[in-house]
Chains A and B, each alone.
Chain A
Amino acid sequence: MSKDIRIKKGLNINLVGAAEHTTSKAALSNVYAINLLDFYGVTPKLLVKEGGEVKAGEPLFYNKDNEEMLFVSPVSGELVEVIRGARRKVLMLKILADKDQKYLTHKALDPDKANAEEITAFLLQSGCWPFIKRRPYDLVANPKVAPKAIFISAYATAPLAADMDYVLQGKEQELQTALSALAKLTPGEIHVSVGKGSDSPFADLKGITLHRVSGPHPAGLVGTQINKIDPINKGEQVWTLSPQDLIIIGECLRTGKFNAERIVALAGSSIKEPKYYSTRIGAEIATFLYASGVNDKNFRVINGDVLTGSKTTPNGFLGFYNNTVTAIPEGDDYELFGWSKPVFDKISTTRALTFSWMLPRKTYDLNTNTNGEHRAFVVTGQYEEVFPLDIYPMQLLKACMVKDLDEMEQLGLYEVIPEDFSLTEFVCTSKQPHQQIIRDGLDLLYKEIG
């Protein structure tokens, strides 16, 4: 079954430095790290002490709210450091990798023969469960609640994001296994979206509803697709997964091993040779960053794409959910009459002496400058142009800012997560922190209503 989704509102941000379709093997990282901030809302309870030995796939900690939910090590080695923040909150676990990798092996599970409880238990035990995220609230899924449906976007429209068709090629078996397992966990459907006219490995898989998506960013965001396919209502939950994580889940089900290998796009104008690297979750970014060479002295490394990623450094580590690492120049410089002169080298949705509308296909070398100061909301109608969801974006943001729970519910906060507001944040004339506002709103709603 196949349905088409056509998105009209949006904006493609074409940046310099898209990753070329070649994959190199990244140098082995000495140290791997699990950043606990990746698991928003999870309170960790450590299972291994500093200095303890773990195998790849062996649990490092569990979720305090659900003791069955285990988070595992991507490599075998020694837990050398537990980095703690304020009030001894655990922020990061660093593992010194062994030369020879030893795996903790589970008994493989055939999803076609297993029932829902067995599959859930397997995913929780093997450390695959945290790949499943839930909406509303953008948290790790709750294994006790069956979702209305599962949504997977295999179409990346975010700037410089990894090309899904490329990184997924040849992985049909793993994908099918993972999808068959997930199908048992929901009474609804599994909706997979691929680019229109793309050559996606999902095209021939069974047990899914395939959607062909076209249009500008955010057509590839799963939130956009959910809104067009089957919007979330109050009280409902849906799950979302990234297709690359399906490969890890599928492989784990087939072989019993948690294999943290992942193909990552290294992109951005600060990279000399942007291309793909095969590495592992938690690997030090420097192990492949410098292999491609860097152009700038003063650049920012981003775990993820430029709209939704988190800031890190070359000595940072690949995030649990990230398949893109972007490096762009920092923009910490002044610009003479930057507010009044004609602009040819930046992107804008207006035509106020900004000329990106003349060259829609040009690629731009954007830096991290805000291009202006933070102001109250003034301009109207600008978010709606790039926001295809059936939601009033500015009104929802304002409801979150004034902490009006009723308005937040009624205007559709259950349907969105911060990344859905990344594009409105990009175009915002008032430079308001949209994603943070939405995150704070979701936290409040979760706390008050749950």
Chain B
Amino acid sequence: MSDKRLTLKKRLHILKHRYRGKKMAPAFNAFHTFLYSPNETTHSGAHVRAADDLKRTMNTVIMALIPVLLFSFFNTGYQHYAAIDAASGAPRELMLWENFLTWENFWLGLIKVLPLVIISYGVGLLVEFIFAVIKGHEVEEGYLVTGMLVPLIVPVDTPLWMLAVSVVFGVVIGKEVFGGTGMNILNPALTIRAFLFFAYPTWMSGDKVWVHGAVERAGTADAISGETILGYLAQNNTSEFTYSVSDMFFGFIPGSVGETSAFLILLGGLFLVFSKIASWRIMLSAVIGSLVMGLIFNGVVDAGWISETSTFYGLMSFDFWKHLIVGGLAFGIVYMATDPVTGSQTNRGKWIYGFLIGFISVMIRVFNPAYPEGVFLAILLMNVFAPTIDHYVIRGNVKRRMKRLKKAVIPAAVQEKEEDLKVETV
């Protein structure tokens, strides 16, 4: 075994040297470094380096997404069959082992979700490789996370060609035109999501798309509902949905593929915070921000400033903390707001940035009757503002330095002497 491994290592090493300087070198290196971490040694500065690299960082985020992905397989199947049962007049009662974690659910989820994952990774990485080869830089790891996020934030029945087109748009316009991973202004996954939303709104909103099969069955005798909780609330229709708080928290509800289980997202978030890969500051402040906005809306309702017939009554009267367990808010906070490239980069800025994401998410959610969800818009908006927030945070530091400078007495003799010296050296 070890002999074989040696030969593979050797062989790849020889190939690497053969490819060096060639057009295809970045493509080869991408596969090579995936298999073997490189034999590169330090040549300037510190002679030893910490164990982390960008691949490990991105891999950690993917690990935090795996439970969500697996859950989505089951939930996709479950929501489909549950909607059929409900349409036939015999609503299902959720039983975890009997009718949720079943092969039937898993299989349906697998054949619906896996193609989304494959298209997302396949198309996205292809674009990345093409750009790397053309521009002659290494294939960067950013898309490893983006590629996993994208299938989890779209409705399950999204046509694959739409996804492919959006991925090309998102990667090229959202990232590559800025210079690749680390240079982009907007979160690429959300850019893809936004493109889908604005280009194909009928497939991205409404009361059909959130459960597999609802669109194709619409108008037939077998029609099933594909509405989300937020959708019901936006229509002030609270009678029809029968989801309990535990359903919402654990994720047995319709929605985008991977956004439903606040529980698993919470676990993923805790893992990311523990491993120090994602910023706890952003997560915590975003949660606080959304709770504050939710409380304000609840307060408005309690004060009687809004009538029960108002368009916004349903969402405004929704208990403030429940905003966190329905829709994409939890997913957005944990996996998207914490993107270090597009988020705030200073610790103080992260508090402001996170808070505003939570705050604006709930605000858009309530005030957007056409599409009762605002997380992706809120994060994209704050992506744009993150550099401004950082700018003002950093000005604070600069001001402190300037103040110190004003207080400092710089001896005139020193300055004179220095001028003498300059004259001499000229």
Chain A residues with CB under 8 Å of chain B are 13, 15, 65, 142, 144-146, 159, 187, 231, 233-237, 300, 302, 306-309, 311, 326, 328, 330-340, 343, 346-354, 356, 366-382, 384, 390-392, 394-395, 410-412, 418, 422, 425-431, 433-436, 450
State the Cβ distance, A405 to closest chain B Cβ, in Å: 14
Q: What CA separation (Å) do A384 and B418 show in the bound complex? A: 35
Q: Within residues 99 to 156 of chain B, which ones have a CB less than 8 A from any CB in chain A? A: 138, 140-142
State the Cβ distance, B347 to closest chain A Cβ, in Å: 6
**Cβ contacts under 8 Å, A300 to chain B:** 41, 47
In the complex, are the beta carbons of B46 and A146 less than 8 A apart? no
Q: Which of A332, A343, A392, A434 gathers most chain B CB within 10 Å?
A: A392
CB<8 Å pairs between A and B, sample of 15 = A145-B418, A233-B408, A233-B410, A236-B414, A300-B41, A308-B45, A311-B47, A333-B39, A337-B37, A351-B275, A354-B51, A367-B48, A372-B55, A380-B279, A426-B48
Q: Size class of B's contact patch?
A: 35 or more
In the complex, are the beta carbons of A376 and B180 less than 8 A apart? yes
CB contact between B36 and one of A145, A334, A347, A384 (< 8 Å): that residue: A334
Q: Within residues 51 to 75 of chain B, which ones have a CB less than 8 A from any CB in chain A? A: 51-57, 59-60
**Cβ contacts under 8 Å, A332 to chain B:** 39-41
Q: What CA separation (Å) do A367 and B40 show in the bound complex? A: 11
Q: What CA separation (Å) do A394 and B41 show in the bound complex? A: 23
In the complex, are the beta carbons of A307 and B55 less than 8 A apart? no
Known: A145-B418, A380-B279. 17 other contacts (CB 8 A): A187-B411, A326-B47, A331-B39, A335-B36, A354-B56, A371-B52, A372-B52, A375-B138, A376-B181, A378-B54, A378-B341, A380-B346, A392-B397, A412-B401, A428-B49, A434-B45, A435-B46
In the complex, whether B394 has a CB less than 8 A from a CB of chain A is: yes
User: In the complex where A146-B411, A381-B340 touch, is A426 in contact with B37 (Cβ < 8 A)?
Assistant: no
In the complex, are the beta carbons of A306 and B47 less than 8 A apart? yes
**Cβ contacts under 8 Å, A374 to chain B:** 138
Q: What CA separation (Å) do A57 and B346 show in the bound complex? A: 51
In the complex, are the beta carbons of B38 and A370 less than 8 A apart? yes
In the complex, whether B240 has a CB less than 8 A from a CB of chain A is: no
CB contact between B415 and one of A235, A336, A384, A391 (< 8 Å): that residue: A235
In the complex, are the beta carbons of A369 and B398 less than 8 A apart? no
In the complex, whether B50 has a CB less than 8 A from a CB of chain A is: yes
Q: Within residues 349 to 376 of chain B, which ones have a CB less than 8 A from any CB in chain A? A: 350
In the complex, are the beta carbons of A347 and B51 less than 8 A apart? yes
Q: Which residue of A lies closest to B408 (CB)?
A: A233
State the Cβ distance, A117 to closest chain B Cβ, in Å: 13
User: In the complex where A340-B59, A429-B52 touch, is A350 in contact with B275 (Cβ < 8 A)?
Assistant: yes
How many A-B residue pairs have C-beta atoms within 8 angstroms? Tell me.
252
Q: Which residue of B lies closest to A437 (CB)?
A: B45
**Cβ contacts under 8 Å, A422 to chain B:** 45-46
**Cβ contacts under 8 Å, B201 to chain A:** none
CB contact between A379 and one of B340, B401, B418, B421 (< 8 Å): that residue: B340
**Cβ contacts under 8 Å, B410 to chain A:** 233, 235-236
In the complex, are the beta carbons of A145 and B60 less than 8 A apart? no
User: In the complex where A235-B410, A377-B182, A435-B45 touch, is A339 in contact with B417 (Cβ < 8 A)?
Assistant: no
Q: Within residues 286 to 310 of chain B, which ones have a CB less than 8 A from any CB in chain A? A: none
Q: What CA separation (Å) do A202 and B154 show in the bound complex? A: 67
Chain B residues with CB under 8 Å of chain A are 5, 9, 12-13, 33-57, 59-60, 138, 140-142, 179-183, 274-277, 279, 340-341, 343, 345-347, 350, 390, 394, 397-398, 400-402, 404-405, 408, 410-411, 413-415, 417-418, 420-422, 424-425
Report whether over half of chain A's contact residues are helix, strand or loop; otherwise say mixed: loop
Q: Which residue of B lies closest to A308 (CB)?
A: B46
State the Cβ distance, A448 to closest chain B Cβ, in Å: 13
User: In the complex where A352-B52, A371-B53 touch, is A380 in contact with B345 (Cβ < 8 A)?
Assistant: yes
Q: Which residue of B lies closest to A379 (CB)?
A: B340
Q: Which residue of A lies closest to B276 (CB)?
A: A350
Q: Which residue of B lies closest to A302 (CB)?
A: B47
State the Cβ distance, B61 to closest chain A Cβ, in Å: 9
Q: What CA separation (Å) do A351 and B271 show in the bound complex? A: 9
In the complex, are the beta carbons of B48 and A13 less than 8 A apart? yes
**Cβ contacts under 8 Å, A436 to chain B:** 44-45
Q: Which residue of A lies closest to B63 (CB)?
A: A353
**Cβ contacts under 8 Å, A370 to chain B:** 38, 40-42, 49
